[in-house]
């Protein structure tokens, strides 16, 4: 998708992350929300698989009923076709996909075994604002 993905990351709080997932890595928090009033917007997830192991990686938020963002099935072995790549990209556009307000961005690993590098382009913005004036006018 053409456009300036960095625009929103410059306007708000850039939450871009590079993570290395080892074969022994378990579930983990990739991005932590600043507060209950902030929302993380995921623009793009790029995964480069380095160790194959018939596992799944699911990206969600930390809500009680998690909001699914992306689900990647990692095969047991590298695909031998020359047109296939070990790089998977999930693109959610310039504005990105909003997580549940105040929730973190997680990686849920089905089981240890697969490994790779993850690059996440994301930003966070204040979405719930409580005005002190609203409280003052109610008195």
Residue 43: both structure tokens together = 């623009």
Task: Give the CATH number, domain containing residue 73.
Answer: 2.60.120.340
pLDDT value of residue 129: 75
What total of structural domains would you count in the chain?
1
Q: Does residue 78 contact residue 86 with C-beta atoms inside 8 Å?
A: yes
Radius of gyration of the chain (CA): 18
Structure tokens at 78: 């590298």
Q: What is the pLDDT of residue 84?
A: 61
Output the pLDDT for position 1: 45
Each residue's pLDDT tens digit, 89-137: 999 999 999 999 999 999 999 998 999 999 999 999 999 876 665 555 5
What letters, b where the CB count within 10 A reaches 16 and e where it falls short, cover 10-29? eebeebeeeeebeeebeeee
pLDDT of residue 17: 97
Domain presence at residue 44: yes
Please check whether residue 65 lies inside any domain of the structure: yes
Q: Is residue 1 part of a domain?
A: no
d(CA 26, CA 133): 46
> Is the residue at 132 inside a domain?
yes
Q: Where is pLDDT greater, at 2 or 65?
A: 65
CA 119, 125, 129 angle in degrees (round to 5)? 160
Predicted TM-score (pTM) of this structure: 0.86
Please indicate, yes or no, if residue 126 is contained in any of the structural domains: yes
The answer to the question of residue 56 being in a domain is yes
Q: Containing domain of residue 86, as a range?
A: 6-137
Q: Which two tokens stand for residue 85?
A: 């790549």
CA nearest 63: which of 32, 99, 29? 99
- Kindly report, residue by residue over 10-59, the tens digit of the pLDDT: 999 999 999 999 999 889 999 999 999 999 999 999 999 999 999 999 99
Residue 86 is predicted with a pLDDT of 80
52-95 tens-digit pLDDT? 999 999 999 999 999 999 999 998 887 755 556 788 999 999 99
């Amino acid at each position: 998708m053409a456009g300036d993905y960095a625009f929103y990351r410059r306007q708000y709080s850039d939450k871009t992350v590079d993570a290395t997932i080892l074969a022994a890595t378990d579930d983990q928090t990739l991005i932590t929300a600043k507060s209950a009033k902030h929302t993380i917007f995921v623009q793009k997830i790029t995964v480069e698989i380095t160790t194959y192991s018939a596992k799944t990686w699911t990206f969600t938020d930390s809500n009680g009923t998690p909001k699914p963002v992306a689900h990647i099935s990692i095969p047991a072995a590298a695909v031998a076709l020359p047109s296939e790549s070990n790089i998977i990209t999930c693109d959610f556009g310039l504005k990105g996909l909003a997580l549940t307000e105040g929730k973190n961005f997680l990686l849920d690993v089905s089981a240890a075994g697969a490994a790779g590098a993850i690059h996440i382009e994301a930003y966070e913005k204040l979405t719930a604002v409580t005005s002190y004036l609203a409280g003052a006018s109610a008195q």
